[in-house]
C-alpha cells in the first residue's frame, strides 16, 4: 500500500462524509488503516442497520454447512409449517427471500411473520425485485424454529446458534440484536457491533467462508451469494442479501491494468463493507448520516466512488506489513 495515498484517503473521508464515524482499510489480511471520528473508537458499537441482512444470509449459509437446511430452493411454507400461508405464497422459496423477490409489498405492517405470510403478494414469488425490510424476518424465524426444535444441537435459538457458529468463531461481540413481534431477532435490521466486527464479516466472505482452520460456510456459498442475480440499477445488482457492482473498475497497478469487481453490504446512514477480491482489499465505514443537507454522499454508489477514487489509488503490488499511521 502507498502510505501517502492512504493518508490522503483518511483526510478526505471526513470532509466528504461529515457524519462518518470510522474508515477501515484491510489489505492482504492486514488492517493497514483505521480512523475514527466524532469521539468513536475501535470499541464503539453502532447499529449496522441493513448489514444485518448480510449477516442473516451468512447464517443461512452456516445452516447449509451444518445440514439444517438442504438448499435455497426449499419452500418457506415447508420450513414454517405452523403458519397459515396465502395460497399465492405457497411457492415462496428461501432464494426468493434472499433476492428480495418475495412479491410481497414492503410495508412496516408486515413486520409480523404471521401477517407477512398471510399477505396477498403483488407479484408471484421469484418474479419481481422489490427491496424488503420485512421478508428477511422469515429467515430468522426459520432458524429460530429449528433451534427450538432441537435441529441445531445445543443452540436453542437464533442468538445461540449465531454465537456458536458465526459470531463466536469470528470474535464478533454483538451488543444488541433487536427482536420482532414474536421475540425472534429481526432478519433485516437491529444488529449492533463495532467497525472491526463488520470487517470480520467482510474478511470471512473474502476468504470464501474460511476462518482460521474452519470452513464456516459451504464451498461455493460466497460465490453464489455474491453473484449478480437481480438487476437493481445501472450501477448495482443484488445477490443473496448482498449488493453486487454491475460494472468493473480498471485499476492501474505495477503488473498493469486490473479489472476490479466488487460486492458490498450496506446499511442505512452510511454503514458499508466493500469487498474487492481482485485487489484482496476490504473497506469498512460506519456513520450516522442524519442530515440530508450535509450528507448527500451517504449512499452506496458514492461510498464506492470514494473507495474507487482514493483507496484504490493506495493499492500497489506490495505485500508489506501494515502501514504505520
Q: Which domain holds residue 15?
A: 1-44+229-317
Is 258 inside a domain boundary? yes
CATH number for the domain including 94?
A: 3.40.710.10
Is 109 inside a domain boundary? yes
Q: Residues 28-69: pLDDT tens digits? A: 999 999 999 999 999 999 999 999 999 999 999 999 999 999
Is 214 inside a domain boundary? no
Is 65 inside a domain boundary? yes
Are 188 and 84 within one domain?
Answer: yes
User: Which parts of 159-280 are beta strand (E)?
Assistant: 176-177, 191-193, 210-211, 214-215, 230-231, 236-238, 243-245, 249-253, 256-260, 263-267, 271-276
Q: Report the domain count for the chain.
A: 2
Is 78 inside a domain boundary? yes
User: Which of 145, 174, 193 is the last residue before a domain boundary?
Assistant: 193
pLDDT at 247: 74
pTM: 0.93
Are 238 and 286 within one domain?
Answer: yes
Q: Residues 176-221: pLDDT tens digits? A: 999 999 999 999 999 999 999 999 999 999 999 999 999 999 999 9
Are 113 and 180 within one domain?
Answer: yes
Is 234 inside a domain boundary? yes
Phi, psi of 282 (to 5 degrees): -135, 130
pLDDT at 324: 35
pLDDT at 289: 76
In three-state form (DSSP H/G/I as H, E/B as E, the rest C), the secondary structure along 91-135 is CCEHHHHHCCCCCCCCCHHHCCHHHHHHCCCCCCCCCCCCCCCCC
Is 215 inside a domain boundary? no
Q: In whole angstroms, what is the distance from residue 36 CA to residue 285 CA?
A: 10
Q: Smallest Cα–Cα separation from 16: which of 264, 262, 309?
A: 309
Measured CA angle at 61 (ends 300, 28), to 5 deg:
60
Are 241 and 185 within one domain?
Answer: no
Are 185 and 258 within one domain?
Answer: no
Q: Can you tell me whether residue 84 is helix, strand or coil? A: coil
Please compute the mean of the pLDDT values over residues 139-168 and round it to a whole number. Answer: 93
Q: Where residue 320 falls among pLDDT bands split at 50, 70, 90?
A: very low
Top pLDDT among 266 and 324 is at 266
Is 221 inside a domain boundary? no
Amino acid at each position: 500500500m502507498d502510505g501517502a495515498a492512504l493518508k490522503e484517503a483518511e483526510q478526505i473521508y471526513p470532509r466528504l462524509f461529515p457524519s462518518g464515524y470510522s474508515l477501515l482499510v484491510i489489505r492482504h489480511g492486514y488492517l493497514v488503516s483505521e480512523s475514527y471520528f466524532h469521539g468513536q473508537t475501535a470499541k464503539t458499537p453502532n447499529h449496522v442497520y441493513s448489514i444485518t441482512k448480510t449477516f442473516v444470509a451468512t447464517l443461512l449459509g452456516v445452516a447449509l454447512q451444518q445440514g439444517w437446511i438442504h438448499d435455497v430452493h426449499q419452500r418457506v411454507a415447508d420450513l414454517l409449517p405452523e403458519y397459515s400461508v396465502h395460497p399465492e405464497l405457497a411457492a415462496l422459496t428461501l432464494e426468493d427471500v434472499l433476492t428480495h423477490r418475495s412479491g410481497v409489498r414492503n410495508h412496516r405492517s408486515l413486520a409480523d411473520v404471521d401477517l407477512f405470510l398471510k399477505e396477498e403478494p403483488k407479484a408471484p414469488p421469484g418474479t419481481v425485485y422489490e427491496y424488503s425490510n420485512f421478508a428477511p424476518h422469515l429467515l430468522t424465524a426459520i432458524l429460530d424454529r429449528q433451534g427450538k426444535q432441537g435441529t441445531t444441537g445445543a443452540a436453542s435459538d437464533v442468538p445461540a446458534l449465531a454465537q456458536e457458529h458465526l459470531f463466536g468463531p469470528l470474535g464478533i461481540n454483538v451488543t444488541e440484536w433487536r427482536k420482532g413481534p414474536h421475540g425472534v431477532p429481526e432478519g433485516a435490521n437491529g444488529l449492533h457491533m463495532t467497525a472491526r466486527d463488520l470487517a470480520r464479516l467482510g474478511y470471512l466472505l473474502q476468504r470464501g467462508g474460511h476462518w482460521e482452520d474452519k470452513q464456516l460456510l459451504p464451498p461455493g456459498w460466497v460465490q453464489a451469494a455474491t453473484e449478480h442475480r437481480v438487476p437493481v440499477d445501472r450501477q448495482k445488482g443484488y445477490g443473496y442479501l448482498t449488493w453486487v457492482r454491475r460494472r468493473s473498475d480498471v485499476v492501474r497497478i505495477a503488473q498493469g491494468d486490473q479489472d476490479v469487481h466488487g460486492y458490498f453490504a450496506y446499511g442505512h446512514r452510511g454503514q458499508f463493507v466493500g469487498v474487492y477480491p481482485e485487489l484482496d482489499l476490504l473497506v469498512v465505514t460506519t456513520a450516522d448520516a442524519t442530515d440530508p443537507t450535509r450528507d448527500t454522499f451517504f449512499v452506496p454508489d458514492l461510498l464506492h466512488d470514494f473507495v474507487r477514487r482514493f483507496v484504490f489509488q493506495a493499492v500497489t503490488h506490495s505485500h508489506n506489513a501494515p502501514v504505520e499511521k
